[in-house]
């Protein structure tokens, strides 16, 4: 099959690789309808993570079940499914506690930007749509495999409450989905910290009531003004680097929680401030499967339209151009059609 | 008045210093009935914090109101009061949100090991007992000024729930109070990590169902066994150094929260583990005033007896011996009688 592979920093290719096959009774093979590029794919692209030269890349996709292992009974070929990037059995103690990201049989999608993808725990992981969805719904459904579920997790971890205030640090696709999550959960004020006009516009469409373009102390002061002098009741850190983390703690009110979902790179937590101001940190890799039923309903009901984060669509052959566009912040998030 | 002063590492004296006086309308002067030595007093004692040579030391006390400022209307001379170590107006936005430790008019007791102490926000901070308490109740009441409220805060921050499991790292007075808090909140299993027999005995009296003397990986394995293979639902970190923090994260189940209340010294948070296992961190300086009414009721009803953490009582003249005994772990916590 044709699949996206990475060979070195900034060396993304489309290669012929073997199709995934069923090797365990819990497996399923998915014919990918749409995949996409994640902000976290840019870490190896930029040479900041190790690269296994020639390996496939891409962990987000939706598609149609092609084949299932003998223990997969709830899904059959032809079903349209959302594939959580983190596969789980949904029966172990961690899954039962709602923490599917720590499943004892955790697996990951590794060829989401390709013609086919393997799910290692299909029965526990997949969620199917009501029939084959209209093409117009596919982008929003695709976001549920990671980015929207991750933004949602940031809001859950930060403890967003109805009537409260929420601040979102980071205007990448995850941050924008965090804005949508906070607004959907009923936060009265949703403050998007963003300097880029096209992203600010999407943030507003997603429910941001305020946009703060300033950063550092100046940005923190503005957030304080908007929040009646106290800071955000809930803060979503949706980047993963140190600057974003410091910003998040700077805008968080005493007693609140920073919800973080970006894979941390070079972050030094401000433990003194955390202690003195009782600002907690919660979050991590999103337990996508936990949120899928709820998010799928919101998408199918038309209550949320997270697919708006895709501002570029490319055929698989041009996936390298998608990486370039995201790396240079020309595109927010790129959808890939195999 | 006679007051404990610190002059250099391990140089604790009883000195004659001016009595505190009312200088602001929110002040009150308290005649100290009992004060005590806190684990955090050992940081300057050991030379690990800066010392202001000759300054008074001690932030925990209970006593009788001696004099009040013009804006203090709920308390009058003769009232027996608990003095939270962190003074608050109890009316600002942070106080109203239950985070009195971040009060806009925050103050601290600075002569708790002395004949008199000043409260800078008396109206908001103090809580009085029903009449003058029996002497036998004084040690437990004294713990409410800091150590029991701090252990309680650790349990609240960690999210201890009825029927869940709680692990307490640290068998100092705060850790023991954390055990008592977790048990009082209804945790089904309360695991005290302690190597010292006298402390283990108090932990059991306070409601510990299990004691784990081992540390590091071995300790974590034992906790895992006791908790059905998953780790603690809530973990209380009651020390503040790096070893205790690493231990806390090692015994925390995925999706849980480490509640921390020890002033952090040299702590490096394991952010990768926090991210991968979704283990949060919450806590900080305890908002003592928030918990005082509830804790006072528990003490007055005889439901809890946190005063058991005091295993040594000394007259003020011998306060230096109290520091020595706590520093060398001969005593868990020392009560000082002026």
CA distances (Å), origin A310, targets A109, A140, A313, B303: 20, 9, 7, 59
Q: Tell me which H or E stretch contains B167.
A: strand B165-169
Cross-chain CB nearest to B285 (options A267, A276, A287): A276
pLDDT-based confidence at residue B225 (cuts at 50, 70, 90)? very high
Q: Which residues touch B167 (CB under 8 Å, ≥6 apart)?
A: B191, B193, B223, B227, B231, B232, B234, B235, B236, B248, B251, B252
Cross-chain CB nearest to B280 (options A275, A281, A285): A281
Tokens at residue A130, please?
A: 């009501």
- Contact status, residue A100 vs residue A90, Cβ threshold 8 Å: yes
Which of these, A279, A283, A289, A230, lies nearest to A261 by C-alpha position?
Answer: A283
Q: Mind telling me how many Å the CA of B241 is from chain A's nearest CA?
A: 12
pLDDT of residue A264: 93
Three-class secondary structure assignment of chain A: CEEEEEEECCEEEEEECCCCCCCCCCCEEEEEEEEECCHHHHHHHCCCCCCCCCEECCCCEEEEEEEECCCCCCCCCCCEEEECCEECCCCCHHHHCCCHHHCCCCEECCCCCECEEEECCHHHHCEECCCCCCHHHHHHHHHCCCHHHHHHHHHHHHCCCCCCEEEEECCCHHHHHHHHHHHHCCCCEEEEECCCHHHHHHHHHCCCCEEECCCHHHHHHHHHHHCCCCCEEEEEECCCEHHHHHHHHHHEEEEEEEEECCCCECCCCCHHHHHHHCCEEEECCCCHHHHHHHHHHHHHCCCCCHHHHCCEEEEHHHHHHHHHHHHCCCCCCEEEEC
Q: How far apart are CA A28 and CA B82, in angstroms?
A: 64
Residues of A with CB below 8 A from B260's CB? 275
- Contact status, residue B132 vs residue B296, Cβ threshold 8 Å: no
- Contact status, residue A262 vs residue A241, Cβ threshold 8 Å: yes
Q: Mind telling me how many Å the CA of A189 is from chain B's nearest CA?
A: 17
pLDDT of residue B122: 98
pLDDT-based confidence at residue B214 (cuts at 50, 70, 90)? very high
Q: Is A303 left (phi over 0), alpha (psi -120 to 50) or beta?
A: alpha
In tens, the pLDDT along B229-245 reads: 999 999 999 999 999 99
- Contact status, residue B265 vs residue B244, Cβ threshold 8 Å: no
Residues of chain B with CATH 3.90.180.10: 2-146+287-337
Length of chain A: 338
Cross-chain CB nearest to B278 (options A230, A279, A284): A284
Q: Which CATH architecture has domain A2-146+287-337?
A: Alpha-Beta Complex (3.90)
Question: Cβ contact (<8 Å) for B287 and A278?
Answer: yes
Which residues of chain A approach chain B closer than 8 Å at the C-beta? 93-94, 97-99, 101-102, 157, 228-230, 253-255, 257, 260, 263-264, 267, 269, 271-272, 274-285, 287
Q: Tell me which H or E stretch contains B6.
A: strand B2-8
Residues of B with CB below 8 A from A94's CB? 230, 253-255
Q: In B84-215, which residue ranges form alpha helices assigned H by DSSP?
A: 93-96, 122-125, 138-143, 147-158, 173-184, 197-205
Residues of A with CB below 8 A from B94's CB? 230, 253-255
In tens, the pLDDT along B26-44 reads: 999 999 999 999 999 999 9
Q: Tens of pLDDT along chain A (338 residues)?
A: 999 999 999 999 999 999 999 999 999 999 999 999 999 999 999 999 999 999 999 999 999 999 999 999 999 999 999 999 999 999 999 999 999 999 999 999 999 999 999 999 999 999 999 999 999 999 999 999 999 999 999 999 999 999 999 999 999 999 999 999 999 999 999 999 999 999 999 999 999 999 999 999 999 999 999 999 999 999 999 999 999 999 999 999 999 999 999 889 999 999 999 999 999 999 999 999 999 999 999 999 999 999 999 999 999 999 999 999 999 999 999 999 99
| Number of CB atoms found within 10 A of residue B128's CB | 17
Residues of A with CB below 8 A from B238's CB? none
- Contact status, residue B7 vs residue B55, Cβ threshold 8 Å: no
Alpha carbon of residue A207 to chain centroid? 18
Tell me the ipTM for this assembly. Answer: 0.96
Cross-chain CB nearest to B255 (options A102, A272, A280): A102
Q: Mind telling me how many Å the CA of B321 is from chain A's nearest CA?
A: 30
Question: Cβ contact (<8 Å) for B285 and A275?
Answer: yes
Residues of A with CB below 8 A from B281's CB? 274, 280-282
Cross-chain CB nearest to B93 (options A157, A228, A280): A228
Cross-chain CB nearest to B255 (options A97, A272, A279): A97
pLDDT of residue A28: 98
In tens, the pLDDT along B42-85 reads: 999 999 999 999 999 999 999 999 999 999 999 999 999 999 99
Question: Which chain B residue is nearest to residue A93, measuring alpha carbons?
Answer: B230
Q: Mind telling me how many Å the CA of B282 is from chain A's nearest CA?
A: 4
- Superfamily in which the A148-283 domain is placed by CATH: NAD(P)-binding Rossmann-like Domain (3.40.50.720)
Which residues of chain B approach chain A closer than 8 Å at the C-beta? 93-94, 97-99, 101-102, 157, 228-230, 253-255, 257, 260, 263-264, 267, 269, 271-272, 274-285, 287
pLDDT of residue A198: 95
Inter-helix orientation angle B147-158/B173-184, to 10°: 50
Residue range B128-138: mean pLDDT, rounded:
96
Residues of A with CB below 8 A from B280's CB? 157, 257, 280-283
pLDDT-based confidence at residue B270 (cuts at 50, 70, 90)? very high
Residues of chain B with CATH 3.40.50.720: 148-283
Tokens at residue A152, please?
A: 């949602």
Residues of B with CB below 8 A from A102's CB? 254-255, 276-278
pLDDT of residue A279: 98
Cross-chain CB nearest to A255 (options B98, B269, B272): B98
Q: Mind telling me how many Å the CA of B95 is from chain A's nearest CA?
A: 10
Angle among Cα A238, A280, A91 to the nearest 5 degrees reads: 75
| Number of CB atoms found within 10 A of residue B73's CB | 10
pLDDT of residue A101: 98
């Amino acid at each position: 099959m044709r699949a996206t592979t990475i060979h070195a920093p900034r060396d993304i290719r489309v290669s012929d690789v073997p199709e995934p096959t069923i090797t365990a009774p819990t497996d399923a093979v998915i014919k990918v309808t749409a995949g996409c590029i994640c902000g976290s794919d840019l870490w190896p692209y930029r040479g900041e993570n190790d690269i296994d030269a020639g390996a496939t890349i891409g962990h987000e996709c939706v598609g149609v079940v092609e084949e299932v292992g003998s223990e997969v009974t709830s899904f059959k070929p032809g079903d349209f499914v959302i594939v959580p990037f983190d596969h789980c059995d949904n029966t172990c103690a961690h899954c039962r506690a709602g923490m599917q990201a720590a499943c004892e049989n955790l697996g990951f999608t590794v060829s989401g930007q390709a013609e086919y993808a393997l799910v290692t725990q299909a029965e526990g992981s997949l969620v199917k749509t009501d029939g084959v969805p209209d093409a117009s719904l596919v982008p929003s459904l695709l976001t549920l495999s990671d980015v929207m579920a991750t933004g949602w997790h940031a809001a859950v971890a930060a403890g967003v409450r109805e009537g409260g205030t929420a601040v979102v640090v980071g205007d990448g696709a995850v941050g924008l989905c965090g804005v949508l999550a906070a607004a959907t959960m009923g936060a009265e004020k949703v403050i998007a910290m963003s300097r880029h006009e096209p992203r600010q516009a999407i943030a507003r469409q997603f429910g941001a009531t305020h946009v703060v373009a300033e950063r550092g102390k100046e940005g923190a002061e503005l957030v304080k003004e908007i929040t009646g002098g106290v800071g955000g009741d809930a803060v979503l850190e949706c980047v993963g680097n140190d600057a974003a983390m410091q910003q998040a703690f700077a805008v968080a009110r005493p007693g609140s929680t920073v919800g973080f979902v970006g894979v941390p790179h070079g972050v030094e937590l401000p433990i003194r401030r955390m202690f003195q101001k009782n600002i907690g940190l919660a979050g991590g890799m999103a337990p996508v499967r936990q949120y899928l039923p709820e998010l799928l309903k919101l998408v199918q009901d038309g209550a949320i339209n997270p697919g708006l984060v895709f501002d570029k669509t490319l055929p698989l052959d041009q996936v390298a151009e998608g990486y370039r566009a995201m790396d240079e912040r020309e595109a927010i998030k790129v959808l890939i059609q195999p």
